Structure 1
Amino acid sequence: MTTKRCFPPVVDSRTRILVLGSLPGEVSLAQSQYYAHKQNRFWHLMGDVLGVDLVGLDYPGRLQALLGHGVGLWDVVAEARRDGSLDSNIRDHAGNDLIGLIGTLPGLRAIAFNGGTAAKIGGKALGEHGDRHAILRLPSSSPAYTLAYAEKRVAWLALRAWLD
């Protein structure tokens, strides 16, 4: 198994919603981009939430659009041993300092976990600090989670409540 490391957080002083994944997959790591796998529906789902065509933008444009709408990104796992991209293969993980990051985001209203692994690891890391914000456990945007897009979309649209 090889050790994989996450990317830096994408946040700024306007961040109201923080979307937390587990750990970038192989394609994302190779391209140094969050949610780079073409079959991952993250950019489609967030585009539906924001009412913006994120898929049509280049990667820097996507990040700027998220930040401009008050949405930040990070992962709950700082590093771990993992073969492949599946969360079920994550071993010996070290968590990110979620509490430290949250402390730098004065306007944060909601924390959204992208998938069950992110929710499980991130929920433990937040502990009682998670009670200060709305917590959403969203269905994974990963193609490995085979829930129909329409059902994922309904759950993800709940993020709109914390945008304004």
Structure 2
Amino acid sequence: MIVRSFPPMEVPGARALILGSMPGAASLAAGRYYAHPHNRFWPFMGELVGAGPELDFAQRVEALAAAGIALWDVLAQCEREGSLDSAIRDDTAVANDIPGFLARHPQVGTILFNGAKAEQAFRRFVAPTLARPDLSLIRLPSTSPANASQAAAMKLAAWREALGAAGVRLREG
């Protein structure tokens, strides 16, 4: 089945761009990023920048923007059965125009990958076309419920460190 990602959440003044691979079935059905109830993305963003799941989606987007975070996926479309990154058929993958995004947002200095597949797809499909050697590229533990091998506290600590290093405005405490 061919799946297509969402438009980017572009943020004027964003310092960091978080890239997933491709939205899962729950997100596609809901029409919004990280909609699976067991995905840790929004709980982490709540803890780190005040964009938690208790807020409606528009408020979460505003909180990400206030913190200096843009959000998108590496892939614009691909064939995939189900939601797992491992089911993405690389031979059908088409990348989003990340070089164009970065040209519109030259202040973005850090790309954070939400998991290994996002980084792998970026390095395969986007990096060869990118003329930004100044970018910091950081792979973070996936927030997906399929990534249960690492404790949530350890994942959160990695996300906190990376977002802080990227110059994102973190919550106090």
Question: TM over 0.5, yes or no?
Answer: yes
Per-residue CA distance 1:50-86 (angstroms, 9 max, x = gap): 2x15221001111111011110100001000111000
Q: Does structure 1 residue 45 correspond to structure 2 residue 47?
A: no
Q: Which residue identity does 1:115 align to in structure 2? A: G
> How much does 1:126 deviate?
2.2
> How much does 1:160 deviate?
1.5
> How much does 1:26 deviate?
0.3
Question: Out of 69, 72, 75, which is 1:71 matched to?
Answer: 69
Q: Percent identity?
A: 41
The aligned counterpart of 1:54 is: 52
Cα 1:8–1:49, aligned 2, differ >3 Å: closer, same or farther?
same
* Residue pair 1:48, 1:157 contacting (<8 A) in 2 also: no
Question: Out of 154, 159, 173, which is 1:156 matched to?
Answer: 159
* Residue pair 1:49, 1:157 contacting (<8 A) in 2 also: yes
Task: Please give the residue correspondences for 1:18-33 in structure 2 after superposition, counting only pairs within 5 Å.
Answer: 18-33=17-32
* Runs of 4+ residues over 4 Å off in structure 1: none
> How much does 1:123 deviate?
2.2
* Residue pair 1:123, 1:130 contacting (<8 A) in 2 also: no
Name whichever of 129-138 and 34-43 sits farther off: 129-138
Cα 1:53–1:20, aligned 2, differ >3 Å: closer, same or farther?
closer
Unpaired stretches in structure 1, ≥5 consecutive residues: none
Name whichever of 121-130 and 23-32 sits farther off: 121-130
The aligned counterpart of 2:13 is: 14
Q: Which residue identity does 2:33 align to in structure 1? A: Y
Cα 1:76–1:163, aligned 2, differ >3 Å: closer, same or farther?
same
The aligned counterpart of 1:98 is: 98
**Matches of 1:155 and 1:47 in 2, distance apart?**
15
Task: Please give the residue correspondences for 1:80-119 in structure 2 after superposition, counting only pairs within 5 Å.
Answer: 80-91=78-89, 92-119=92-119
The TM-score with structure 2 as length reference comes to 0.89
The aligned counterpart of 2:127 is: 126
Q: Does structure 1 residue 142 correspond to structure 2 residue 141?
A: no
* Residue pair 2:51, 2:61 contacting (<8 A) in 1 also: no
Count of aligned positions: 162
Cα-Cα RMSD: 1.3
Q: Which residue identity does 1:144 align to in structure 2? A: A
* Residue pair 1:13, 1:106 contacting (<8 A) in 2 also: no
> How much does 1:106 deviate?
2.5
**Matches of 1:129 and 1:153 in 2, distance apart?**
31
* Residue pair 1:78, 1:94 contacting (<8 A) in 2 also: yes
* Residue pair 2:44, 2:52 contacting (<8 A) in 1 also: no
